[in-house]
């Protein structure tokens, strides 16, 4: 039960996985931040419209993360078995079957979201705001984002499973390329530079589409042609997967459902914020980028936690996995404290880079203060729930508890704070994120119980 141990090899393994993932996340956030700054030059209405439209697109993003991380639980365990030569033949088959099922589900999900966005873009925007101009601008953004779902989803889930077998550098290099492509395309199409038409909000969506197309082409091209670990090829998309389907559903689908319901829950939070006014929405758009910047390493360690936990269970068993679980919890507390300090130091310089009103800046500062407190708890439970406990196969329990805390505590408290008690922005945001505190306490008890370590079959 030691939170910190002198095990250099453990920390080396974790950060060799986590840092490339964190750098890739940092690049993605940099793209989002540049988008926000560029669109912000068009005014608060344009900034609010793209922010709220992306709140809906983030539902799809989180669903895909669920699919990818669910598959990662299986891939990490099977890869650990393969490298330790435990039932190697069936482990190799199960690896390919897992990727096949994941890609099929991702493409189906992309089709569903593309259809919804095509049919009712303005209806989607009305979920977040009553402002007619913001709704119209958001509908324009949606129009140019429809095809993006297919490229975003397929590259995202493939990146996650490649990381699970130790391939972390390629996705990082691809993200660097996508960053510069997005930057150039945004500059050209938002403002009408380099001989391109001035498209404003539509230009931001088109720039993202071009970058996602590049990203998907590189990542999927590697998987289908060059990968030597999973050995999945394009023709394998039609392979038989019946022998693994039951195990895939048992482990992966609860992750999808959990993250999906959480996505809707987080969008309910966005809806609460959206109805608090354009200034609150713009302030939240600014602070969300800062929060993402402060948690890139935490997200990297979370994903590394799922990979390392799965591989350790496949190779070395229960006792070693438990010891590592407590060390991951210690990492969570340490990284959360560092992130809180980063937010407190960086908040003013970041807020001042935006061309927004004084009222928006004041609200943003209150939100930053609230986030700096929440982030300590968020870091700890994120590494446990998205990392260690998920890596151990405890996906059903996580599906239940994650959403109970969000829907029973955070959202009702946030609604009361914002619309009934009319509390300051600091306390509204704290209430909307209060589930992070409760989940941290629950994670400690769940880790100690050892009930989170589940057996996984290869489906032979």
Q: Along the 460 residues of the chain, how does pLDDT read in single tens digits?
A: 677 777 888 899 899 888 888 888 788 777 777 777 788 788 778 888 888 888 888 888 888 888 888 888 888 888 888 877 667 778 788 888 999 999 999 999 999 999 999 999 999 999 888 888 889 999 999 999 899 999 999 999 999 999 888 888 898 899 899 989 988 998 899 999 988 999 988 898 899 899 999 999 999 999 999 988 888 998 889 988 888 888 888 887 887 787 777 767 766 777 777 777 777 877 887 887 777 778 888 888 998 888 888 888 877 778 888 988 899 999 999 999 998 998 888 888 888 887 778 888 888 888 899 989 999 999 999 999 888 998 888 888 888 888 888 888 888 998 898 888 888 888 988 998 898 999 999 999 999 998 888 877 665 5
The pLDDT score that the predictor gives to residue 429 is 85
User: Any idea what the Cα angle at residue 55 is, between residues 409 and 427, rounded to 5°?
Assistant: 40
CB proximity list for 418: less than 8 A, separation 6 or greater: 272, 276, 428
The pLDDT score that the predictor gives to residue 402 is 80
CA gap 95, 92 in Å, rounded:
5
Q: Kindly report the number of other CB atoms within 10 A of residue 441's CB atom.
A: 12
The pLDDT score that the predictor gives to residue 85 is 66
CB proximity list for 390: less than 8 A, separation 6 or greater: 69, 73, 255, 306, 309, 398
Rounded alpha-carbon distances, angstroms, from residue 274 to 43, 46, 278: 17, 14, 7
Sign of the Cα torsion 225, 227, 228, 233 reads negative
Q: Output phi, psi for 59, to 5 deg.
A: -60, -50
Tell me if 407 sits within 8 A of 353, measured CB to CB.
no
Q: What is the 3-state secondary structure (H, E, C) of the chain?
A: CCCCCCCHHHHHHHHHHHHHHHHHHHHHHHHHHHHHHHHHCCCHHHHHHHHHHHHHHHHHHHHHHHHHHHHHHHHHHHHHHHHCCCCHHHHHHHHHHHHHHHHHHHHHHHHHHHHHHHHCHHHHHHCCCCCHHHHHHHHHHHHCCCCHHHHHHHHHHHHHHHHHCCCCHHHHHHHHHHHHHHHHHHHHHHHCCCCCCCCCHHHHHHHHHHHHHHHHHHHHHHHHHHCCCCCCCHHHHHCCCHHHHHHHHHHHHHHHHHHHHHHHHHHHHHHHHHCCCHHHHHHHHHHHHHHHHHCHHHHHHHHHHHHHHHHHHHHCCHHHHHHHHHHHHHHHHHHHHHHHHHHHHHHHHHHCCCCCCHHHHHHHHHHHHHHHHHHHHHHHHHHHHHHHHHHCCCHHHHHHHHHHHHHHHHHHHHHHHHHHCCCCHHHHHHHHCCHHHHHHHHHHHHHHHCCCCCCCCCCC
CA gap 212, 123 in Å, rounded:
25
The pLDDT score that the predictor gives to residue 112 is 96
The pLDDT score that the predictor gives to residue 162 is 92
CA 331 and chain centroid, separation: 19
CA gap 38, 31 in Å, rounded:
10
Burial class (CB in 10 A: 0-12, 13-18, 19+), 229: middle
Rounded alpha-carbon distances, angstroms, from residue 15 to 7, 168, 299, 390: 13, 11, 12, 19
Q: Is the pTM of this model over 0.95?
A: no
Longest alpha-carbon distance in the chain: 63
């Amino acid at each position: 039960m030691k939170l910190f141990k002198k095990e250099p090899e453990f920390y080396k393994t974790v950060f060799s996985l986590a840092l490339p993932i964190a750098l890739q996340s940092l690049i993605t956030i940099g793209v989002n931040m540049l988008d926000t700054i560029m669109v912000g030059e068009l005014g608060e209405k344009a900034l609010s419209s793209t922010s709220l439209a992306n709140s809906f697109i983030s539902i799809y993003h989180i669903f895909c993360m669920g699919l990818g991380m669910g598959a990662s639980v299986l891939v990490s365990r099977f890869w650990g078995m393969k490298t330790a030569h435990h039932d190697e033949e069936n482990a190799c088959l199960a690896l390919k079957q897992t990727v096949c099922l994941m890609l099929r589900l991702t493409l189906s999900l992309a089709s569903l979201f593309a259809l919804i966005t095509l049919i009712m873009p303005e209806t989607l925007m009305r979920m977040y705001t009553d402002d007619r101009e913001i709704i119209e601008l958001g509908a324009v953004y949606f129009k140019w984002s429809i095809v993006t779902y297919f490229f975003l989803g397929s590259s995202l889930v493939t990146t996650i499973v490649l990381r699970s077998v130790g391939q972390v550098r390629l996705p990082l290099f691809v993200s660097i390329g996508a960053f510069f492509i997005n930057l150039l395309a945004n500059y050209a199409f938002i403002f009408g530079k380099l001989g391109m038409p001035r498209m404003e909000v539509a230009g931001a969506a088109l720039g993202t589409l071009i970058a996602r197309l590049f990203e998907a082409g590189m990542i999927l091209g590697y998987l289908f042609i060059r990968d030597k670990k999973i050995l999945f090829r394009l023709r394998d998309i039609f392979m038989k997967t019946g022998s693994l389907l039951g195990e895939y559903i048992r482990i992966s689908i609860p992750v999808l459902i959990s993250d999906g319901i959480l996505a809707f829950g987080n969008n309910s939070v966005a809806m609460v914020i959206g109805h608090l006014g354009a200034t609150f929405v713009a302030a939240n758009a600014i602070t969300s980028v800062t929060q993402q910047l402060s948690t890139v390493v935490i997200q990297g360690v979370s994903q590394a936690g799922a990979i390392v936990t799965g591989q350790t269970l496949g190779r070395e068993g229960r006792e070693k996995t438990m010891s590592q679980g407590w060390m991951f919890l210690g990492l969570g507390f340490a990284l959360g404290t560092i992130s809180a300090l980063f937010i407190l130091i960086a908040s003013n310089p970041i807020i001042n880079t935006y061309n927004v009103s004084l009222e928006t800046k004041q609200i943003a500062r209150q939100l930053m203060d609230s986030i700096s407190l929440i982030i300590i708890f968020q870091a700890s439970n994120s590494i446990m729930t998205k990392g260690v406990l998920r890596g151990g196969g405890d996906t059903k329990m996580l599906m239940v508890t994650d959403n109970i805390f969000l829907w029973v505590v955070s959202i009702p408290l946030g609604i009361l704070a914002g619309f009934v008690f009319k509390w300051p922005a600091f306390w509204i945001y704290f209430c909307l994120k209060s589930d992070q505190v409760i989940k941290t306490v629950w994670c400690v008890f769940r880790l100690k119980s050892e009930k989170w370590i589940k057996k996984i079959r290869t489906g032979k």
